[in-house]
Amino acid sequence: MSRGLRKGLTSYGDAGFSLFLRKAFIKAMGYSDDALERPIVGIADTRSDYNPCHGNASTLIEAAKRGVMLAGAMPMVFPTVSIHESFAHPTSMFLRNLMAIDTEEMIRAQPMDAVVAIGGCDKTLPAQIMAAISVDLPTVVVPVGPMVVGHHQGEVLGACTDCRRLWAAHRAGTIDAAEIETVSGRLAPSVGTCMVMGTASTMACIAEALGLALPMAASIPAPHAERVRLAEASGKRAAEIAKTGGPRPSELVTPASLRNAIAVLQAIGGSTNGVIHLCAIARRAGIPLALEEFDRIGRDVPVLVDLKPSGAHYMEHFHHAGGMPRLLAELGSAIDRAAPSVAGGTLGDIADGCERVRGQDAIRPRAQPIKPEGSIAVLRGNLAPDGAVIKHAAATPALLRHTGRAVAFDSVEDLARRIDLDDLDVAAGDILVLRNAGPKGAPGMPEAGYLPIPRKLARRGVKDMVRISDARMSGTAFGTIVLHIAPEAAIGGPLALVRSGDRIDLDVPARRIELLVEKAELERRGKALRAAAVPERGYARLYHQTVTQADLGCDFDFMLPPGARP
Ligand code: FES
């Protein structure tokens, strides 16, 4: 197979001319023949003025280039789509698959022998990993790293768990407009990704667990010099695997490494978004991953990492406690130690090499867990025939078995319009239901599953209620919240049939969620349902027509290998 600059020549019907032309153009940049004969490491550049989480990417790119050159290869930086949570309309999830396609096709189209993928904000690492699996070129993932913590009035702040907590306090009237404005300048005190165990941190840990990133890549704070050295080392390693041709993602993403990733997801109290992304990653690799695998592993693997939103600490504390290598060591037999890492060697080698930090309390031993079970459970029942998830580690224990009256909202807009009305018929024991917020419904499955507590109840001190939806929830949020109900309401899932006043039974220990309405009545309601409108053109139409449901990872069906399509 052709390597370096000779790879993937543009079609002019004359390969010699194609190479001649390519060289002629690239020499305009001042490259020497020596440089152009080297193996090429492509570096995916996700810098964007709209993406503050990637604000250190320039420094990381320079370091990765240095590493590539130190190892005798040629770095070439190329831009891809970049997505930031707060700057993506309608949602970042709507754009994840676009970024995955863009990244895949740019890797395929341009000559490179290995890839350094620099990403981090929630959907970016999943998109890059999905692309890497589909291309199957040797790849090293370099997360941009978490922010350092913020401080306000003697309190430590973390985006975005404390964004939500303090905004809820503002809604309840205990923080005034001036103070919440001050807080907005302190929640994100540096570049980098959210520093709680949100989706970005979860996916960075998963990248390490899958063996796609070097040890400690998930946790080194974004502004630290150590992160720059990690980028250099990643560039160096990418140059080595560009020469040897492996390991490739297909050698790293296997049933065993996926089980390792799920064990890590459960042990870190990770984001529920991690379930969707891992389902997508697995299917890209042609591995059908059932939701029950998350539940099965979660019953054995306890929560060991004490990070917000389900615990007390932040990513920098996880890092100083020994990071992922230490966690892998504590997980012991829950991890397949033979799984290989792009670093060379196995996950077992990485666990054995972990730093034993004295006195740390961010990573617990398996015998003294934060919670005896993993953080995420999978529910089924007549309300979720294809599954739903709940992060029970971040829920109110008393609500994990609860029967209540439904208060239903037809859409995110309906929710926004009515949730704070004084005459909303709602009580603390009710169950808030949001529908038409799934992959096709909203579209893009917004992180609207963290339904706000109705203002009149919040003012009375109600902090949590059972909330259920076909939406997602930010990994930084918390509460007794059932998410990802599949099939979604917009394609006629049972959630579409719920009416305010119906009774719903949630039983997390039994992994059940049931709508307590007669079957005949549900059938009668089902006949009255109307199909959701299909967008007229463009990406929105492609998305609507091809996106899969949450239990399958919300990938586009045509991006999956033929055997893995629904
Ligand atoms: Fe980028 Fe949270 S907004 S990781």
383-417 pLDDT, tens digit per residue, is 999 999 999 988 999 999 999 999 999 999 999 99
**Percent of the chain topping pLDDT 70:** 100
Integer-rounded Cα Rg, in Å, for the chain is 24
Is pLDDT above 90 for 294?
yes
Quick one: pLDDT at residue 323?
98
CA of 204 to the centre of ligand 1 (A): 12
User: Within its chain, how far is the Cα of 394 from the centroid?
Assistant: 17
Is pLDDT above 90 for 171?
no
Ligand 1 atom with the smallest distance to the CA of 160 is: 2
Quick one: pLDDT at residue 533?
87
CA of 139 to the centre of ligand 1 (A): 23
What mean pLDDT do residues 241-264 have? 98
Is pLDDT above 90 for 310?
no
Going by C-alpha positions, the residue among 18, 76, 30, 85 that lies closest to residue 53 is 85
Separation of alpha carbons 107 and 120, rounded Å: 18
Going by C-alpha positions, the residue among 87, 93, 80 that lies closest to residue 46 is 80
* Helix (H) / strand (E) containing 467: strand 466-469
User: 32-51 pLDDT, tens per residue?
Assistant: 999 999 999 999 999 999 99
Q: Is 273 in the pocket of ligand 1 (CB under 6 A)?
A: no
User: 433-466 pLDDT, tens per residue?
Assistant: 999 999 999 899 999 999 999 999 998 999 999 9
Encoded tokens for 308? 């917000």
- Mutating to test ligand 1, I would choose from 163, 184, 194, 447 the residue with most ligand atoms within 8 A of its C-beta, which is 194
Quick one: pLDDT at residue 25?
97
E strands present in 472-544: 481-483, 503-507, 512-515
CA of 402 to the centre of ligand 1 (A): 33
324: Cβ contacts below 8 Å, ≥ 6 apart: 205, 208, 209, 215, 216, 217, 218, 219, 264, 350
E strands present in 363-436: 376-381, 384-391, 401-409, 431-434
Lowest mean pLDDT among 87-96, 165-174, 519-528: 165-174
Encoded tokens for 363? 């990573």
User: Within its chain, how far is the Cα of 135 from the centroid?
Assistant: 20
Q: Is 188 in the pocket of ligand 1 (CB under 6 A)?
A: no
CA of 160 to the centre of ligand 1 (A): 8
Quick one: pLDDT at residue 376?
94
Is pLDDT above 90 for 164?
no
Is pLDDT above 90 for 168?
no
Q: Is 470 in the pocket of ligand 1 (CB under 6 A)?
A: no
- Contact, 268 vs 363, CB < 8 A? no
Q: Please name the residue that has the structure tokens 């702040």.
A: 157
CA of 125 to the centre of ligand 1 (A): 12
Tell me the pLDDT band of 474, cut-offs 50, 70 and 90: confident
What mean pLDDT do residues 200-214 have? 98
- C-alpha distances (whole Å) from 37 to each of 16, 23, 33, 112, 239 are 15, 10, 6, 12, 14
Closest C-alpha to ligand 1, atom 3:
85
Tell me the pLDDT band of 564, cut-offs 50, 70 and 90: confident
Q: What angle separates helix 538-546 from helix 92-109, to the nearest 10 degrees?
A: 100
Q: What angle separates helix 199-209 from helix 124-135, to the nearest 10 degrees?
A: 30
Quick one: pLDDT at residue 173?
87
302: Cβ contacts below 8 Å, ≥ 6 apart: 266, 267, 366, 369, 370, 371, 372, 373, 374
Is pLDDT above 80 for 305?
yes
Q: Is 53 in the pocket of ligand 1 (CB under 6 A)?
A: yes
Q: Is 5 in the pocket of ligand 1 (CB under 6 A)?
A: no
Closest C-alpha to ligand 1, atom 1:
121
Encoded tokens for 159? 């985006």
User: 256-285 pLDDT, tens per residue?
Assistant: 999 999 999 999 999 999 999 999 999 999
Tell me the pLDDT band of 309, cut-offs 50, 70 and 90: confident
Q: Is 121 in the pocket of ligand 1 (CB under 6 A)?
A: yes
* Helix (H) / strand (E) containing 7: none
Separation of alpha carbons 354 and 269, rounded Å: 21
User: 120-147 pLDDT, tens per residue?
Assistant: 999 999 999 999 999 999 999 999 999 9
Q: What angle separates helix 291-300 from helix 273-284, to the nearest 10 degrees?
A: 120
- Mutating to test ligand 1, I would choose from 193, 271, 472, 474 the residue with most ligand atoms within 8 A of its C-beta, which is 193
- As a whole number, the mean pLDDT across the chain is 96
- Mutating to test ligand 1, I would choose from 47, 51, 53 the residue with most ligand atoms within 8 A of its C-beta, which is 53
- CATH match for 377-532 among 3.40.50.2300, 3.50.30.80, 3.90.76.10, 2.160.10.10: 3.50.30.80
Separation of alpha carbons 136 and 132, rounded Å: 6
Quick one: pLDDT at residue 154?
92
Virtual torsion, Cα 99, 101, 105, 106, nearest 10 deg: 0
Separation of alpha carbons 108 and 310, rounded Å: 40
What mean pLDDT do residues 352-381 have? 95
CA of 2 to the centre of ligand 1 (A): 39
Virtual torsion, Cα 394, 398, 400, 406, nearest 10 deg: -110
Q: Is 193 in the pocket of ligand 1 (CB under 6 A)?
A: yes
Ligand 1 atom with the smallest distance to the CA of 476 is: 2
Q: Is 122 in the pocket of ligand 1 (CB under 6 A)?
A: yes
CA of 79 to the centre of ligand 1 (A): 20
CA of 384 to the centre of ligand 1 (A): 29
- C-alpha distances (whole Å) from 496 to each of 276, 403, 470, 493, 513 are 21, 19, 10, 6, 15
- Mutating to test ligand 1, I would choose from 48, 121, 308 the residue with most ligand atoms within 8 A of its C-beta, which is 121
Going by C-alpha positions, the residue among 472, 530, 502 that lies closest to residue 85 is 472
Lowest mean pLDDT among 240-249, 522-531, 544-553: 522-531
Q: Is 198 in the pocket of ligand 1 (CB under 6 A)?
A: yes
Q: Is 191 in the pocket of ligand 1 (CB under 6 A)?
A: no
CA of 53 to the centre of ligand 1 (A): 6
CA of 276 to the centre of ligand 1 (A): 17
What mean pLDDT do residues 201-222 have? 98
**Percent of the chain topping pLDDT 90:** 92
Quick one: pLDDT at residue 536?
95
Quick one: pLDDT at residue 21?
96
What mean pLDDT do residues 229-241 have? 98
Instruction: Quote the pTM value.
Output: 0.96
CA of 393 to the centre of ligand 1 (A): 21
Q: Where are the domains of the chain?
A: 38-148+190-352, 150-184, 377-532
User: 329-362 pLDDT, tens per residue?
Assistant: 999 999 999 999 999 999 999 999 999 999 999 9
Q: Is 447 in the pocket of ligand 1 (CB under 6 A)?
A: no
